[in-house]
Amino acid sequence: MALSADRVVRGLLFDRDDTLVIDVPYNADPHRVVPVPGARRAVERARAAGLAVGVVTNQSVIARGGATRAQVDATNARVDELVGPFDVWCVCPHGPEDACVCRKPRPGLVDQASERLGIAATDLVVIGDIGADVGAAAAAGAQSILVPTPRTRTAEVDAAPTVAASLDEAVGLVLAHVPAAHA
């Protein structure tokens, strides 16, 4: 499976947990951030090709009262230090029951990133590990690549339009669609 051949890619949005960093459920402790193997290199490749790079992440730990926004921001800053830097961070602080527009699979985080980067959502690709990441991309008009982990459900893999075995492979698929002026 591959990305659409007739669409240009100008930006790449990553999910945080289990995509860029090893998932520690509800993590808001910067000292517990461990990058996924190859994450820094994958982000560097995207940035070197001239792509805008960002993170779109659901962080319901805030709504659940398990952490403050400042704690989550500090954790994200550690991800930025170890894997980034990223041009934009878009965080949904809500829980599933809040019915907000930003929580993936809704389009809000991708729309926010699009606006803040000044790049049409149709020119973005979202890379994530679950169906909510794919759904958010589709809802916003972006493309997506699913990089499954052992926690990714088979139905999510089967439903994804594009699947890659690793983050590095996903970025490679994206780089094939970068305009020459950016590369």
Let me know the angle formed at the C-alpha of 104 by 127 and 70, rounded to the nearest 5 degrees.
Answer: 95
More confident residue, 69 or 4: 69
Read off the tokens for 111: 């729309």
Question: What are the helix (H) ranges across the chain?
Answer: 39-48, 69-83, 108-117, 131-140, 154-159, 167-175
The pLDDT value recorded for residue 26 is 87
Confirm if 137 and 12 have CB atoms less than 8 A apart. Answer: no
Long-range CB pairs of 142-145 (<8 Å, 24+ gap) are 142/13, 142/110, 142/114, 143/3, 143/4, 143/7, 143/9, 145/3, 145/170, 145/173, 145/174
The pLDDT value recorded for residue 137 is 97
In this prediction, residues 118-122 reach a mean pLDDT of: 97
Looking at the predicted structure, is the pLDDT value of residue 181 above 60?
no
Instruction: Share the mean pLDDT of the chain.
Output: 93
Read off the tokens for 126: 């979202």
Whole-model pTM above 0.85? yes
The pLDDT value recorded for residue 172 is 94
Read off the tokens for 171: 């970025």
- Please indicate whether residue 17 is annotated as part of the active site: yes
- Please indicate whether residue 15 is annotated as part of the active site: yes
pLDDT category at 8 given cuts 50, 70, 90 is confident
Name the catalytic one among 6, 15, 111, 129.
15
Choice among 24-28, 44-48, 54-58, 81-85 with the minimum mean pLDDT: 24-28
Looking at the predicted structure, is the pLDDT value of residue 78 above 90?
yes
Looking at the predicted structure, is the pLDDT value of residue 126 above 90?
yes
Q: What share of the chain is helix, strand, coil (3-state, %, to 5)?
A: 40, 15, 45
Structural domains of the chain, ranges and CATH numbers in brackets:
11-175 (3.40.50.1000)
pLDDT category at 7 given cuts 50, 70, 90 is confident
Nearest C-alpha neighbor of 51 from the set 1, 4, 102, 113: 113
